[in-house]
Structure 1
Amino acid sequence: MSDVAKAGETRVWVFEDGFGPGKAKEYFGNARIQDPTFSFGDVERIEVPSEDRFNEFEQIDSIQGAKERPTSGIQGRYPRQAVSTLLRIGRKRCPSGVQVHIGKCANPQDYDANWDKILNFTDVKYSSFGLEGAGALSSDEQAPINETGEFSGDDMYEIAPLTFAEKCTGAVVREITKVVVCDTIECGDCDTPSDGCQKVFALMLGTGATPGTLPSVVYTDDGYDTCAALDISTMTSTEVPQDAACVGGDLVVISDGSGGLHINGQADILAGTDNWVEAVVGFVGGNDPVAIASAGAQNTWLGAENGYVYFSSDPRAGVVVQDAGDATNQPLAAGHAFDKLNVVFVGDTNALISTINGGVTWALIIGPAIGIALTAVWMYNEITWFVGDANGDLWQTLNSGANWTEITLPVVPTLIEDIQFFDETVGYLAITGPGVAEMVRGQLHC
């Protein structure tokens, strides 16, 4: 069967107020997408005079201009009585969203399951609205009136269905507790060419009584084509590497029971070099870190036992106590930093604490599941959060925890393990239960 998309296999969905929780979408069944264009920037030659011939020049380099906004348009039948949605959105002059679903055998109006691929436009703004064939002077000019809204977006990319396959089978010999991707797009000028999904680090348990087999990091720098493992030499075999974050050029690993940060350079790990160090300055005994949240090399927070929160501007130099269990005394289990000011941690017995000033003050928020351990959290923005719990329930708040709404999932999990978003459109949910449920069914790159 030919893998060629046909024009009749596309359908348009419009998100008037943009993507995000609580924002409505509309199926544009009587419309089509116009041909999209995405300019990545014109390329200009950098030349010098030829050393061999007069009036000739040789290229020694090139400069690519600024990426432009992708452009397209939505064309549909102009309604005779109803108010035009395209005209209304254009007049608002506010960001919106557009998706083009490409499918074949499913119901086109089934948003979650009608597609084989999605073309996604973010930060859509309409530049013009027009009508085609709005009047007739004779009977042979009778025709449907079409409306067109021309728009540009901040980005245009494809979303494909998730597929799963076992990776690193030779290196993974024990349980994996955490996986992080520490990579960016690289053309090859400063590092190995990468699409941003090649350098992956996974924490693997140790085994046996000390000395036993140490916990380790399973790593790859080629997107799982080849994998290897490096022992975390600053841990003992009985310690559990619970969480990790990419902080600057380092991989920072925490373990409940060690009371410190285990740090090695990402490049050192990928080279198989044991340069692990343990930073213990600032930690308080009996209040070991359990979860890590980072918003860049100079802003890293750690949620710990007894509700402690630590902060580090340089993990290799240690931490300082930001909250000594004052906001809550419950053990914290997971955290996420939206930026250097807004951070949330969740933990046992519905514990949820947040800061809006980088940790100068921490406030206790009433969580969504009274008496239940909260196990995962993601800050979609400053006031919109997702929280998972130990009963397999997923919750969202649109107002910093003042109100909570449970999200119905297509499967019945027994535990929410992790929540991750790629951007405002694509997110993932890791669960314990009958499978993996995606909050938005798709993947981009990684």
Structure 2
Amino acid sequence: MEDQDNHHRQEERSDEVGEMYGHITAWTNELGICNRILRKKLQGAEGIILGRDVKGRVTEFFPETIVRARCADLLEGEQADENGFFTKDGEHFGHATAWMRELGIGYRVWRDRMRGAQGISGRDVGGAPMNSGFYSETIVRERFADLLQIEVALETGFIVRHGTRYGHLTAWAEEFGITWNSLKQRLESSQNISIRNPQGKVVNFYSEVLVREKFADLLSEETLVAEGDGFCMRSGECYGHLTAWANTLCVGRKALEIRLKNVQGVLGKDSQHKAVFLYPESLVKKCCADLIQQEMLVADESGFCMNGGDKYGTKHAWQGILGIDELTIGSRLKDVQGVTGKVHTGNVIRNGFYLESIVIERCADLLKEMPVAGDGGLFTHEGMRYGTASAWARDLRIADPAKIRRRLRNNNGVKGKDKGGRVLTFLSEAEVREACADLIQQKQ
């Protein structure tokens, strides 16, 4: 078996008149040059012979002299390992990306510090030449001596120095649930130390003592924390942030913000532990009395509610009752001002409830008995089959429904409903076949 393998290897690198020949893959393995780059270098090469590879496939074999001549620039210098380094004359060399990864240094810092540094030529792991692209460890450590002496934080973003824990802004934001912007605003001019974060970038680290001091109002056990709906209770009073009150009282957030701009809320946290101002219910209702709608409709699970003997419902609710598509109802009510109310889940629908009499009046023509299409988009009416342009395109195997629409654009057709309740125009089979006879003939 071993003799057979040797035989195959000899076939892959044949010797003809003292010249060594090999196919692309063999030379890739031999010279350490990327297969793609090698193929490009050998395009149009002379002296090629045909032979069989180890699997018996006929392929091109290239002479060593031609390969080395064409790849001379790639064969100069040392070739880097998979990490981007090689050793030459006892000195460790690496390309820029390798050193940045090895030492945790950002690109901009590398660029500024290494400007003017002299590198040597070599090849990357794929064999591609990098002229003056490899830098010695001596030069790199000399250029970054001060940075390499700075401590590197743990992956968590913290470091302990003299028994005190320090962290960067993002780390403290995650630790205490305070927004990054809030931390930056309060700590920007405070005492800090320079530490390299896990990515190697030098950033400001702040002590835990300082952070707790600056954010005592938010880190106190007495701090108000809103629930998912934006509200919380203190001493029997309901507190909520602006968005929560705007949704509950059905007023615009901007209008609410204007009326409360001179009012001092209580600094607390929302359900995501972000710092927000919370306002007591009594104060909000006092400042926004002109905005608050005292009586608000509340719908049942069906989407309807009664007010003074009149029935109101959302467009979605009317769709279920009338069997007319919600979008169609909306188009008939586009100039009607709805009434604000709440659905049974508590969500406020602004101007989204419509009086029954208005809906019936606007959709009167659609409430007449109409034929309803089946799954295929067709129905039979007075002995004639009708369908939408899309349905006839499928039925008659016409590629583009738009062609049917263009040819019958002046045809009013018959109004009907699709399976989803949408009111559409349906065209008769006879008219479609007459107008599109040539298109139908092409498919036969």
TM range (shorter): under 0.3
Higher share of residues assigned strand? 1
TM-score (normalised: structure 1): 0.18
Higher share of residues assigned helix? 2
